[in-house]
Chains A and B, each alone.
Chain A
Amino acid sequence: DGGITQSPKYLFRKEGQNVTLSCEQNLNHDAMYWYRQDPGQGLRLIYYSQIVNDFQKGDIAEGYSVSREKKESFPLTVTSAQKNPTAFYLCASSTTGIQYFGAGTRLSVL
């Protein structure tokens, strides 16, 4: 089945720790996106990539990093510099302007 797979579904971060969220797609889409979702705030764009080996900051990139070494994969690292990482993280990929979403990863702080 074609789709976007995010893992893990739940993730816990300790103080000072970096954690990486995985996003894989087999839709052959060029563009991929990471969003953060907090209650009552909709989705906010963290990073996006329109092609392999290239990515741009979104509206709230501070404390996050990404890589795009393969078309299928766009992992997001939440660094220790992100002081309020508790949120629901959504990955998307797109073709012809339409974005399709994964099932999300919920990150909490221990």
Chain B
Amino acid sequence: AQSVTQPDIHITVSEGASLELRCNYSYGATPYLFWYVQSPGQGLQLLLKYFSGDTLVQGIKGFEAEFKRSQSSFNLRKPSVHWSDAAEYFCAVGAAEYGNKLVFGAGTILRVKS
């Protein structure tokens, strides 16, 4: 069965510090991988996506993620966190073989301290 694991429920970082959010997946097909961000009471906004090609992908708001097939991981990084980055972050996996349905992780809540 397809699954996505985000091991950290909450992460707190200081403003200006670097950030890494972990995502591991189990999937029976060649996956598409996504990171979304959600502010309280809002919908999800796409941060970045990986379909194929270069395994280091750049997204909006200064975020990047690296696909590591051998580790089944797609970790999200940002070199310097801003207070406005405080939100919940979701990793998701899909594949054309499964009708492009997405499987989501449980989310990681990011708190930024000043």
CB within 8 Å of B: which residues of A?
4, 6, 31, 33, 35, 40-45, 48, 50, 56, 58, 88, 90, 92, 94, 97-104, 106
**Interface residue count on the B side (C-beta < 8 Å):** 24
In the complex, whether B44 has a CB less than 8 A from a CB of chain A is yes
Interface residues of A: mostly helix, strand, loop or mixed? strand
Residues 87-114 of B contacting A (Cβ, < 8 Å): 90, 94, 96, 99-102, 104-107
Closest to B102 in A: A99
Closest to A41 in B: B106
CB within 8 Å of A: which residues of B?
4, 9, 32, 34, 36, 41-46, 49, 51, 90, 94, 96, 99-102, 104-107
**Distance A33 CA – B9 CA, assembled complex (angstroms):** 25
Answer whether A100 and B46 are a contact pair too, CB < 8 Å, given A42-B106, A58-B101.
yes
- Which of chain A's residues have a CB closer than 8 A to the CB of B41? 88, 104, 106
